[in-house]
Structure 1
Amino acid sequence: MQTVKSDILTHRGSHFDLGVQTAQWMQQTPLLKNREKEWKKRMPRFDIHIKETYDIFQTYAPQIWEELRGMQEVLNLPTRQMILNFAHYRFTLLKNSGCTVYLGQDYMVRNYDYHPATYDGRYLLFQPNDGGLAQIGPTSRVTGRMDGMNEAGLAMGYNFMHRKHPGDGFVCYMIGRLILQYCKDVSEAIKLLKEIPHRSSFSYIVMDKHLNHAIIEITPRSIEVRYDHTCTNHFKILTHENRNYTKESIQRMERLVNQTTSPLDKKDAFTLFNNPKYDIYSKLFKSWSGTIHTSMYEPQSLITHITLGENKAPTKIDFQKWLDGEPLKIKTLSGEIDTDLTFATY
Structure 2
Amino acid sequence: MTFSAIRVGDGGDGQWAAHAQALWPVAQGWLTEEGRSPQGADRARRLFESHMPELVPVLDRLGRQLDRPAGETLLTHAALRPFFSGCTQIGGAGTLLRNYDFNPDECEGAIVSSHFLRPVIGTQEALWGLLDGMNDAGLAVSLTFGGRFVHGPGFSILIVLRYLLETCDTVGEAIGRLRSLPIAIPQNVTLVDSQRAVTVFVGPDMPLTVAADACAANHQHLPVPEEQERFSRTGERLSAVRAAGTDAAAMLKPPLYHWMSCTPTAWS
Indicate the larger mover: 100-109 or 64-73: 64-73
Per the TM alignment, residue 178 of structure 1 is displaced from its structure 2 partner at its CA by 1.1
Structure 1 residue 231 corresponds to structure 2 residue 193? no
Q: Match for residue 7 of structure 1? A: 4
Change in Cα spacing, 1:74 to 1:125, as seen in structure 2 (3 Å) is closer
- Structure 2 distance, partners of 1:60, 1:243, is 34
Aligned to 2:248: 270
Q: Find the partner of 2:81 among 89, 92, 102.
A: 92
Q: 1:201 to 1:150 in 2, by over 3 A?
A: same
The structure with the greater share of residues assigned to strand is 1
TM-score by length of 1: 0.66
Question: In the TM superposition, what is the alpha-carbon distance from 1:63 to its structure 2 partner?
Answer: 5.0
**How far did residue 7 of structure 1 move?**
1.5
1:22 — aligned with what?
A: 16
What are the equivalent positions in structure 2 for 1:47-86 lying under 5 Å apart? Answer: 47-48=35-36, 49-62=40-53, 64-78=55-69, 80-83=70-73, 85-86=74-75
Secondary structure of the equivalent of 1:5? Answer: coil
Structure 2 residues not aligned, in runs of 5+: 264-268
> Could you tell me which of 108, 112, 115 is aligned with 1:127?
115
Per the alignment, in what secondary structure is the counterpart of residue 139 of structure 1?
Answer: strand
Structure 2 CA distance for partners of 1:121 and 1:88, relative to 1, 3 Å: same
Give the counterpart letter for 1:21 in structure 2. Answer: Q
**2:266 matched to which residue of 1?**
none
Q: With structure 2 as the length reference, what TM-score do the two structures score?
A: 0.84
SS in 2 for 1:203: strand
Match for 2:18: what amino acid? Answer: Q
Contact between 1:158 and 1:203, CA under 8 Å: does it hold in 2? yes
Q: Can you list the C-alpha shifts for 1:50-92, whole angstroms capped at 9, x where unaligned?
A: 23222222233345443343344344323x3431x33210323
In 1: Cα distance, 2:33 partner to 2:20 partner? 25
Equivalent residue, structure 2, for 1:288: 262
Q: Contact between 1:118 and 1:141, CA under 8 Å: does it hold in 2? A: no
How many residues align structurally? Answer: 256
**What does residue 254 of structure 1 align with?**
239
Deviations 1:252-286 (A, max 9, x none): 112223333xxx5xxxx22221x2x34311234xx
2:127: which partner in 1? Answer: 142
- Whole-Å Cα distance in 2 between the matches of residues 67 and 243 of structure 1? 41
SS in 2 for 1:92: coil
Deviation at 1:243, TM superposition (A): 5.8
Q: Distance in 1 between matches of 2:24 and 2:130?
A: 18
Distance 2:204 2:94 in 1: 31
Q: 1:198: how far off? A: 1.2
Aligned partners of 2:93 and 2:193 also within 8 Å: no
Q: Is the 8 A contact 1:152 1:209 kept in 2?
A: no
SS at match of 2:146: strand
Aligned-residue offset at 1:100: 0.5
Q: How does 1:97-246 map to 2 (within 5 A)?
A: 97-128=85-116, 132-162=117-147, 164-210=149-195, 212-222=196-206, 223-236=208-221, 239=222, 242=224, 245-246=228-229
SS at match of 2:2: strand
The superposition leaves residues 118-165 of structure 1 with CA deviations (integer Å, 9 ceiling, x where unpaired) of 31121111224xxx3321111111110010111111110011013533
Gap change, CA 1:75 and 1:106, over 3 Å in 2: closer
User: Structure 1 residues 246 and 218 mapped into 2: Cα distance closer, same or farther (>3 Å)?
Assistant: farther
Are 1:100 and 1:231, in contact at CA under 8 Å, matched by a contact in 2?
Answer: yes
Shift of 1:227: 4.5
Going from structure 1 to structure 2, the CA distance change for 1:272 and 1:216 (only over 3 Å counts) comes to: same
| Cα offset, 1:117, TM superposition | 2.8
Contact 1:205–1:215, Cα closer than 8 Å, also in 2: yes
Residue 35 of structure 1 is matched in structure 2 by 27
CA spacing shift, 1:81–1:133, aligned 2, 3 Å? closer
Q: Give the Cα–Cα distance (whole angstroms) in 1 for the partners of residues 212 and 118 of structure 2.
A: 25
Q: CA RMSD in A?
A: 2.6
Q: Hey, what's the Cα distance between the residues in 2 that align with 1:208 and 1:105? A: 6
Q: What is the CA–CA distance in structure 1 between the aligned matches of 2:54 and 2:6, rounded to whole Å?
A: 19
